[in-house]
Amino acid sequence: MKVLVAMSGGVDSSVAAGLLIEQGHEVVGATLKLWGGASDSGCCSVADVDDARRVAQILGIDHHVFNYTEEFERSVVTPFVEGHAGATSPNPCIECNRHIKFDLLFQRAERLGFDAVATGHHAQVLEREGHHYLVRGEDNQKDQSYVLGYLQEPILRRLLLPIGAMNKDEVRQHAERLQLRTWDKPDSQDVCFIEASKGRSIFLGQRISLTPATIVDQVTGEELGETAAAELMTVGQRRGVLPGRDGEKRYVARVDLQARRVEVGRLKDVLSTKLKLDVNSLSFARDALANQTRVLAQWSAHGRPMEATLSFDTTWSLELDAPARPVAPGQTVVFYREDEPSIVEGAAIVTS
């Protein structure tokens, strides 16, 4: 089979390419140039491209660089900036997977005559009775099924995830065995287009006007402090939020940019049992789920799945079985099967 491997320059995609070669596939590597600005983190730096190219040389395969900087700016960076300007918190990694890696790259692979596309994600594709399902990776600490939650069956049929059944130690052992230069390379942790040395505040401050705001206790109305940038305050956030005068921790409950006001509350005051969903973002892996379907809902990469009911009244929402910290508007929630909690059923963006 002729396979195009998306090589980020990290150990996971390097091993994915090596394993496919050993399995007898005709493999070609491709690295995506996505961010045209400065980068000292993530997976878009010049060093990452060079690592991918050198791994391809070691493996003896062709390597190409595909330039999607304009598409990345339009589909990932701009929505990220606009989201913060509107007091929402988009997930850029999910949008990159959704619009670039598993859309534009797949289209290009098909035009070039490839039978399949492979990546180094820690997730698996399960084939059952002629259908394909995305399932969690074997390594729970590295599972990336959440960030792939928008993948649908037409993509899954042409997707190979060679390391999904391995834990991270096994991946590094394979990389060392194959003598790949990336065998001990640290995992990328940050948003690739935001320099770790500067941070989100500087990045956003160069693109939008940041709004100073008063931090107010939502129950008592007491003013607890000020923030120089309300756009950097995320619903559900505790880090960086000062305790109230009673000494209890406070969590962000609401960001009102127009009123220049950030409301915070004690945990018991901000807990929620309902997530409203953006119907235009709602996506199902195969068949649409019915009203009142029981699911497990997860809204962060390594968050604990929560039992919930996907329901429709005047709009789609998730009714949680137990109260949870509020979820920031703009975040993605992924649905897993209640009876088979490793299988992904779909995803949507939270509105409130």
256 vs 44: CA distance, rounded Å? 34
Helices 46-59 + 11-22 axis angle, to 10: 20
What is d(CA 129, CA 166) in angstroms, rounded to the nearest whole number? 24
Q: DSSP code of 184?
A: T
Burial zone of 190 (CB within 10 Å; 0-12 exposed, 13-18 middle, 19+ buried): middle
**CA–CA dist 34, 272 (Å, integer):** 37
192 annotated active-site: yes
CA dist list (Å): 80 to 95, 100, 142, 211, 352 = 9, 15, 24, 17, 17
Alpha-carbon distance of 27 to 59, in angstroms, equals 10
Q: Are 85 and 46 in contact (CB under 8 A)?
A: no
**Residue 96 known to be catalytic:** yes
75 backbone dihedrals φ, ψ, rounded to 5°: -95, -20
User: Residues for the chain: how many in total?
Assistant: 352
The answer to whether 215 and 222 are in contact (CB under 8 A) is no
Catalytic residue among 43, 44, 93, 96: 96
Catalytic machinery residues: 96, 192
